[in-house]
């Protein structure tokens, strides 16, 4: 069809309302490149699944246009969009064997039997289930059933694969294993994938880019490292990874930085000026736990304040210390377990510090 590969999928001013009044998706605009793995991430009810269902054709946009490979698909039936789909509940036919499940989308497309057999064999080998073709879904583990569902979405070689919380029913270890399997399949096949999840670690692991949803709006669209290192607002900072928040007021602004007086008289610190309203306006400081230094001596950590150690939890490679800082009793630091013990004791007062570039002044 020869569309622009940089705009393989386009949402243009897309809105969705179910009742004609409340918008669950508000003016959604995004371009997805051919071969990209894009994840729509957000809490329940944020609009991410609705966007995926509009792309699949199971929901209709109230306003705007959805374009696939240069062609508007607003009025194209789901089965004519050439899109593979993987659901959380697998949606396998229980009365069919694994091979018959994979053959089904090929038979619907009236592909010759010899070609069906070859494609099914290749798809099963791709997900490491080459010897499972004659089994029924009930004879497979949850992870194996999910592999079959992925293979069925890929077997007819669609130009786009959509996945809606596909690993939600799996246990933690199996879920992590499947994350890497899907990621490697994507890299090997070069297919375009759009993935929906509320699990931020899953999104960070698998994606080229992540669109973070809240209240029907994309709060930030960026690569995983940009989202983690450079959140643009307090919601993204709190939703992606663990994050410490300190409240304060802007006392001065100079170039890319600002001085912030912490609430409760805990002192004044320097931060990157990211999303603030102006002098004397309230702000939320965002600092990642691993960027906090205990008893800093290095001048590279100019921001310093006192902290009371409330709780220490041993997690193998690091100690998770919960502290009270500037009135926040859930301020987390991660102390690397390099000495096989922690110098900290519960109840003691310590000094902590962090670099200015690790502290972002965001919306209050």
Domain of residue 358, CATH code: 2.40.50.140
Contacts of 327 (CB under 8 A, 6+ apart): 247, 263, 264, 266
Q: Assess whether 198 and 252 both reside in one domain.
A: no
> What is the value of pTM for the model shown?
0.89
DSSP three-state, residue 204: helix
Q: Assess whether 66 and 192 both reside in one domain.
A: yes
Q: What are phi and psi of 182, to 5 degrees?
A: -65, -40
In-domain check, residue 206: yes
Q: Assess whether 21 and 135 both reside in one domain.
A: yes
Q: Assess whether 250 and 230 both reside in one domain.
A: no
Q: What's the pLDDT tens digit per position in 193-208?
A: 999 999 999 999 999 9
Provide the residue range defining the domain that includes 162. Answer: 5-234
Structure tokens at 97: 């064997």
In-domain check, residue 291: yes
Number of structural domains in the chain: 2
pLDDT, the chain, mean: 92
Q: Assess whether 49 and 141 both reside in one domain.
A: yes
- Identify the domain boundary among 234, 262, 293: 234
Residues 325, 246 contacting (CB under 8 angstroms) = yes
Distance between CA atoms of residues 131 and 68, nearest Å:
36
Structure tokens at 271: 């931060």
Distance between CA atoms of residues 49 and 197, nearest Å:
8
Q: Assess whether 179 and 75 both reside in one domain.
A: yes
Q: Assess whether 173 and 42 both reside in one domain.
A: yes
In-domain check, residue 239: no
- Which domain CATH number covers 15? 3.40.50.300
Distance between CA atoms of residues 251 and 341, nearest Å:
40
Give the pLDDT score at 361: 96
Q: Is the pLDDT of residue 270 over 90?
A: yes
Q: What's the pLDDT tens digit per position in 145-165?
A: 988 999 999 998 898 999 999
Q: Assess whether 293 and 194 both reside in one domain.
A: no
- Identify the domain boundary among 234, 266, 284: 234
The pLDDT confidence band at residue 266, using thresholds 50, 70 and 90, is: confident
Q: Assess whether 333 and 295 both reside in one domain.
A: yes
- Identify the domain boundary among 234, 254, 287: 234
Give the pLDDT score at 91: 83
Distance between CA atoms of residues 116 and 137, nearest Å:
20
Distance between CA atoms of residues 44 and 216, nearest Å:
11
Q: Assess whether 317 and 180 both reside in one domain.
A: no
In-domain check, residue 240: no
| 347-358 residues labelled b (16+ CB within 10 A) or e (exposed) | eeebebbbbbeb
The pLDDT confidence band at residue 297, using thresholds 50, 70 and 90, is: confident
Q: What's the pLDDT tens digit per position in 82-131?
A: 899 998 887 899 999 999 999 999 998 999 999 999 999 999 998 889 99
Distance between CA atoms of residues 321 and 319, nearest Å:
6
Q: Assess whether 249 and 226 both reside in one domain.
A: no
Give the pLDDT score at 210: 97
- What whole-number percentage of the chain has pLDDT above 90? 75
Residues 144, 135 contacting (CB under 8 angstroms) = no
Closest by Cα among 49, 48, 74 to 60:
74
Q: Assess whether 249 and 228 both reside in one domain.
A: no
């Amino acid at each position: 069809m020869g569309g622009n590969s940089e705009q393989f999928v386009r949402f243009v001013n897309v809105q969705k309302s179910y009742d004609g009044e409340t918008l669950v998706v508000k003016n959604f605009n995004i371009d997805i490149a051919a071969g990209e793995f894009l994840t729509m991430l957000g809490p329940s009810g944020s609009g991410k699944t609705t966007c995926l269902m509009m792309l699949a054709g199971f929901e209709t946009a109230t306003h705007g246009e959805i374009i696939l490979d240069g062609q508007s698909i607003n009025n194209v039936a789901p089965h004519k969009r050439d899109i593979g789909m993987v659901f959380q509940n697998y949606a396998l036919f229980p009365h069919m064997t694994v091979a018959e499940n994979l053959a089904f989308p090929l038979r619907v497309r009236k592909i010759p039997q010899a070609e069906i057999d070859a494609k099914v064999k290749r798809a099963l080998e791709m997900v490491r289930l080459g010897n499972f073709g004659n089994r029924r879904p009930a004879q497979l583990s949850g992870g194996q059933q999910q592999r079959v569902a992925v293979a069925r979405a890929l077997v007819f070689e669609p130009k786009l694969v959509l996945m809606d919380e596909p690993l939600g029913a799996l246990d933690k270890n199996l879920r992590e294993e499947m994350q890497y399997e899907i990621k490697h399949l994507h890299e090997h096949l070069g297919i375009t994938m759009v993935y929906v999840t509320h699990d931020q670690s899953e999104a960070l692991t698998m994606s080229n880019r992540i669109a973070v949803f809240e209240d029907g709006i994309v709060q930030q669209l960026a690569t995983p490292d940009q989202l983690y290192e450079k959140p643009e607002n307090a919601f993204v900072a709190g939703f992606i990874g663990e994050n410490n928040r300190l409240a304060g007021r802007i006392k001065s602004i100079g170039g890319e930085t600002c001085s912030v007086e912490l609430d409760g008289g805990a002192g004044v610190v320097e931060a990157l000026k990211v999303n603030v309203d102006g002098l004397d306006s309230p702000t939320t400081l965002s600092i990642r736990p691993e960027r906090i230094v205990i008893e800093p001596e290095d001048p590279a950590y100019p921001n310093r304040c006192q902290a009371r150690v409330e709780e220490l939890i041993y997690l193998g490679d690091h100690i998770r210390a919960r502290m009270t800082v500037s009135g926040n009793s859930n301020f987390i630091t991660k102390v690397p377990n390099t000495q096989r013990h922690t110098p900290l004791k519960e109840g003691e007062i310590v000094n902590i510090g962090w670099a200015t570039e690790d502290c972002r002044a965001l919306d209050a």
